[in-house]
Homo-oligomer: A and B are copies of this chain.
């Protein structure tokens, strides 16, 4: 099938750019020094492709569905639920699945309650945990000073403590590299102290925006670097946008100077703002439409395709059932309509 035959909206990834992103990450964070985060794309096929190329085959996940999907896809070499869960039933199922599959499952805990859930879900068997440490972002994570006691409680409850994780999510999106350098150092001071109190072999931290600023942490949790988006592209990172949403022009209003494409709010995460349209100017998006002003010199006609770039890739991926793969795109970022679709990867880890 060629790109021109795809029904729209269609999410397309360019393998040449994806490979560039995988290689750029592997040059700085090879092998197990990257813990590849699947929340950014929710596709086991994409996760397997990246692991096959980079050799980075330890993963992290934000949901138990992602955990289970990774294990079922044979990607359970070392899977971390980098998030807290209170869902004992679902965690028990994941723990059992991991045991049956000889997968290695580790989960984050940050409170006596999440420790208790882990203990119950572990049953009479072993389960590994990381202590999730608050390193400055107002989200999950126990205060650094309380980590030692939680680790001790976990060990007394029969859990294995592998170490600590701390996500500097308040830093990763800042466009000022000097600020990121300074803040990563400050966050890692907190994580280092926690690690000393907790023990264990692993300190896990970071994200796409700080992937090359971690000189102490053992592994960086990153996923958005694979596909990128317009927000992350505002940073000085070596990664390039590899995902495009193709839409079809379904209406043109020449007298008022706008046109309409068939991809809207249900095809794009909108929390970081509107998607962009290569060569044209965004007017506004509605549920299933984008209204735009054609770029100067572009004579847009009904039936033409437009090429849209998400502002935030993670929620955008969660809105699509599949991603179509092409060998390479044009230098301006558009997708060649006569390109062959060489593969189609299900986005199989969506929802909960």
Contacts and interface: CB of A to CB of B under 8 A. Distances in A.
Interface stretch (A19-27, A151-159, A214-222, A246-254): A246-254
- Interchain residue pairs A-B with the least CB separation, the first 7: A113-B302, A84-B250, A270-B271, A140-B251, A266-B318, A265-B315, A62-B288
A224 B240 CA distance: 38
A96 interface: no
A352 to B, nearest CB: 6
Given A8-B87, A315-B287, A110 B251 contact: yes
14 contacts: A7-B89, A7-B352, A39-B288, A62-B288, A84-B251, A85-B262, A111-B251, A111-B252, A138-B258, A139-B260, A139-B289, A140-B251, A266-B269, A270-B271
Nearest to A320: B351
Given A138-B291, A265-B315, A266-B318, 4 more contacts: A7-B89, A83-B262, A87-B248, A270-B270
A199 interface: no
Given A90-B7, A312-B265, A352-B7, A286 B251 contact: no
A87 to B, nearest CB: 5
Contact of A169 (B114, B286, B312): B286
Contacts of A312: 265
A51 to B, nearest CB: 21
